[in-house]
């Protein structure tokens, strides 16, 4: 019984300044943990971005180059044997922020040009592609 009275007196005679200091220290520790977690996630994101950007190949276009244009409309109607790349087109002018002005050399009016996003283009290195066909006759047995 005497032991219970001791704890009751200790509970009733607590020092409010000590509890305030203890709570303030706990909040500071929590704040440090939060900041550490924020810094860790920020460092992780920076490392992943650096790794990803290192793998990217920059496409630089110059006037006069031949390029192929990606037709995104074919995504809605997928056809296995139809190519999504059209061209070749000639780069007429390179504008700011990746915009490229193209012209079609095979069109009736070669002065006609249009502007596309540079991400829809890729370099065209070849000329006419020779298409070899093989005919295989299947016989019913």
Indicate the domain borders of the chain.
Answer: 2-55, 66-123
Peptide bond into 9 cis (omega under 30): no
> 């276009």: which residue's tokens?
61
> 């298409």: which residue's tokens?
131
Confidence of residue 31 (pLDDT cuts 50, 70, 90): very high
| pTM for the full predicted model | 0.50
Amino acid 94: pLDDT: 92
Confidence of residue 137 (pLDDT cuts 50, 70, 90): confident
> Mean pLDDT score of the chain, rounded to an integer?
80
> 């997928």: which residue's tokens?
78
Q: What is the mean pLDDT of residues 101-130?
A: 80
> CA 20 to CA 7: how far, in whole Å?
20
Query: What CATH fold (topology level) applies to the domain 66-123?
Result: SH3 type barrels. (2.30.30)
Q: What is the mean pLDDT of residues 16-30?
A: 86
Confidence of residue 16 (pLDDT cuts 50, 70, 90): low
pLDDT in tens, 45-68: 999 999 998 887 788 899 998 999
> CA 53 to CA 138: how far, in whole Å?
50
101 pLDDT more than 90? yes
Contact 115, 101 (CB under 8 A): yes
Amino acid 21: pLDDT: 86
Task: Name the DSSP class of 130.
Answer: P
> CA 133 to CA 124: how far, in whole Å?
23
């Amino acid at each position: 019984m005497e032991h219970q009275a001791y704890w009751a007196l200790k509970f009733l005679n607590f020092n409010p300044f000590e509890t305030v200091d203890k709570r303030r220290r706990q909040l500071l520790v929590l704040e440090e943990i939060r900041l550490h977690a924020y810094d860790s996630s920020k460092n992780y994101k920076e490392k992943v971005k650096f790794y990803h950007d290192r793998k990217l190949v920059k496409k630089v276009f110059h006037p006069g180059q031949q390029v192929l244009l990606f037709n995104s409309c074919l995504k809605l109607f997928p056809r296995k044997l139809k190519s999504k790349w059209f061209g070749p087109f000639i780069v007429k002018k390179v504008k700011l922020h990746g915009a490229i002005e193209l012209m079609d050399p095979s069109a009736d009016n070669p002065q006609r040009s249009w502007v596309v996003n540079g991400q829809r283009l890729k370099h065209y290195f070849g000329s006419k592609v020779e298409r070899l066909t093989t005919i295989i006759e299947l016989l019913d047995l």
